[in-house]
């Protein structure tokens, strides 16, 4: 009996994608759903090319189908906040990132951007910079890790990190396509690499100042899911997709203020770490959508992680909560790396709590 898979011929699609649209522009509205980690999108037409989010009209959708509202009062509202080029439909079409608001004009429970933006505005004189290393895992549509033997496991970890060769890396085509899609869209993607577990990869976004970190990472995630969709592959941001002696997936957050980046900045880095040490539980709750429950499976003290129960810091120590890169210690300025955020974290929540802890008394 043959297994039916839902697939279409992209070559057939191409004849339609090249049709001229004259003055019409397609806008793909993108938002975060009620899970706090899923992205949703839908498209609408404008008669002109928008130059900023303010040019894009407020829209609505059915929140009862996205875990955000009851069917009896289901309208949710999309407020455009950031605009990017669309690498799938090409110019002049756009991707429009939106905040979600409820019928009573209050932000949806998973709209972490609103308060994050308020905090970033308060701290803008400190010029907070972020870079997030987004790890993720590729899966077949049956949920099995992409490229893994169906009736067993690949060889132990060791040859896969930044590996080269068909027996060491799986899915490089997806990674290459995603990288170029991000660059086209205007996402501040800084790099990518194969990770420690086979079928696990990472892309880095940054440096981004303030609210841009969350905006650019969410669009980077959206593009990743869309590109993988074209290849018939699934992306999971689960922080521990495979139990056992395999690395989990994180979203390490690199962070600095202007004072940290200037000569003698190591003092301000150490001051920030001291403040972070006093609010470990608060940060753990902010670092995954389930307030630490997802990260509990990952932050075990093994596989290049710290224990979820303890705060630690060290130079070049990937088993610590906070790592100071060796180059930073030698130059006595730069940034710190918070290794606690999970791969499925909300970057708005992560960056907001870091700034609240380190920049405000």
The predicted-structure confidence for 131-173, as pLDDT tens digits, reads as follows: 999 999 999 999 999 999 998 899 999 999 999 999 999 999 9
For residue 41, the tally of other CB atoms under 10 A from its CB is: 16
Task: Give, in order, the Cα–Cα distances in Å from 345 to each of 48, 177, 327.
Answer: 35, 24, 27
Distance, in Å, from the CA atom of 208 to the CA atom of 332, rounded to the nearest integer, reads: 22
CATH number of 120-359: 3.30.590.10
Question: Percentage of residues in the chain with pLDDT exceeding 70?
Answer: 98
Q: How confident is the model at residue 90 (pLDDT cuts 50, 70, 90)?
A: very high
- Residue 339: both structure tokens together: 């290794």
Within 36-89, strands assigned E span 39-46, 59-62, 75-85
Task: Indicate if the pLDDT at residue 211 is higher than 60.
Answer: yes
Domain boundaries, the chain: 10-110, 120-359
The DSSP bridge partners found for residue 192 are: 203
The answer to which of 4-13, 113-122, 196-205, 349-358 has the lowest mean pLDDT is: 4-13
Own/partner pairs, 307-316, CB within 8 angstroms, 24+ separation? 308/284, 308/340, 310/280, 311/276, 311/277, 311/280, 313/273, 313/277
184: phi then psi, degrees, rounded to nearest 5: -65, -45
Choose among 321, 325, 303: nearest CA to 312: 321
Task: Indicate if the pLDDT at residue 191 is higher than 50.
Answer: yes
Q: How confident is the model at residue 71 (pLDDT cuts 50, 70, 90)?
A: confident
pLDDT computed for residue 1 by the predictor = 40
Q: By the 8 A CB rule, do 240 and 196 touch?
A: no
pLDDT tens track for 330-340: 999 999 999 99
Q: What is the CA radius of gyration of the chain?
A: 21
Choose among 25, 13, 33, 29: nearest CA to 49: 25
pLDDT computed for residue 5 by the predictor = 61
pLDDT computed for residue 203 by the predictor = 98
Mean pLDDT of 69-91: 95
120-156: string of b/e by CB count within 10 Å (b at 16+)? Answer: beebeebebbbbbbbbbbbbeeeeebbbbeeeeebee
Task: Indicate if the pLDDT at residue 208 is higher than 80.
Answer: yes
Mean pLDDT of 272-281: 97
Question: Residue for token digits 């194969």?
Answer: 194
- Residue 33: both structure tokens together: 């759903």
Tell me which H or E stretch contains 193: strand 189-194
Q: Give the chain's mean pLDDT.
A: 96
pLDDT computed for residue 228 by the predictor = 98
pTM: 0.96
pLDDT computed for residue 3 by the predictor = 53
The DSSP bridge partners found for residue 188 are: none
The answer to which of 2-6, 32-36, 111-115 has the lowest mean pLDDT is: 2-6
Q: How confident is the model at residue 109 (pLDDT cuts 50, 70, 90)?
A: very high
Mean pLDDT of 181-199: 98
- Residue 102: both structure tokens together: 């409820």
CATH T-level assignment (fold) for domain 10-110? Ubiquitin-like (UB roll) (3.10.20)
């Amino acid at each position: 009996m043959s297994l039916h898979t839902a697939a279409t011929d992209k070559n057939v699609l191409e004849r339609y994608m090249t049709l001229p649209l004259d003055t019409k522009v397609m806008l793909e509205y993108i938002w975060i759903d009620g899970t706090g980690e899923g992205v949703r999108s839908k498209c609408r037409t404008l008669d002109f090319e928008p130059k900023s989010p303010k040019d894009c009209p407020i829209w609505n959708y059915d929140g009862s189908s996205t875990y955000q509202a009851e069917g009896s009062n289901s309208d949710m509202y999309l407020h455009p906040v950031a605009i990017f080029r669309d690498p799938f439909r090409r110019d002049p079409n756009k991707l429009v990132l939106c905040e979600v608001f409820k019928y009573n004009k209050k932000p949806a429970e998973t709209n972490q951007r609103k308060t994050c933006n308020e905090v970033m505005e308060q701290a803008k004189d400190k010029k907070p910079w972020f870079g997030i290393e987004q790890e993720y895992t590729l899966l077949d549509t049956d949920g099995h890790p992409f490229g893994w033997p169906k009736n067993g496991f690949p060889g132990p970890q060791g040859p896969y990190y930044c590996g080269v060769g068909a027996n060491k890396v799986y899915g490089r085509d997806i990674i290459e396509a995603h990288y170029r899609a991000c660059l086209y869209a205007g996402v501040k993607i800084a790099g990518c690499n194969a990770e420690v577990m086979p079928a696990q990869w990472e892309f880095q976004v940054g440096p981004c100042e303030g609210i841009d970190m969350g905006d650019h990472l969410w669009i980077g995630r959206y593009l990743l899911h869309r590109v993988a969709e074209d290849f018939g592959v699934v992306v999971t941001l689960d922080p521990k997709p495979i139990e056992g002696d395999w690395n989990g997936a994180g979203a390490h957050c690199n962070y600095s203020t202007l004072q940290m980046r200037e000569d003698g900045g190591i003092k301000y880095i150490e001051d920030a770490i001291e403040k972070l040490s006093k609010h470990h539980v608060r940060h753990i709750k902010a670092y995954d959508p389930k307030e630490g429950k997802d990260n509990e499976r990952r932050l075990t003290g093994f596989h290049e992680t710290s224990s979820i129960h303890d705060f630690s810091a060290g130079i070049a120590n990937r088993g610590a909560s906070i790592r100071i890169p060796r180059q930073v210690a030698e130059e006595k300025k730069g940034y710190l790396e918070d290794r606690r955020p999970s791969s499925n974290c909300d970057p708005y929540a992560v960056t907001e709590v870091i700034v609240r802890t380190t920049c405000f008394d």
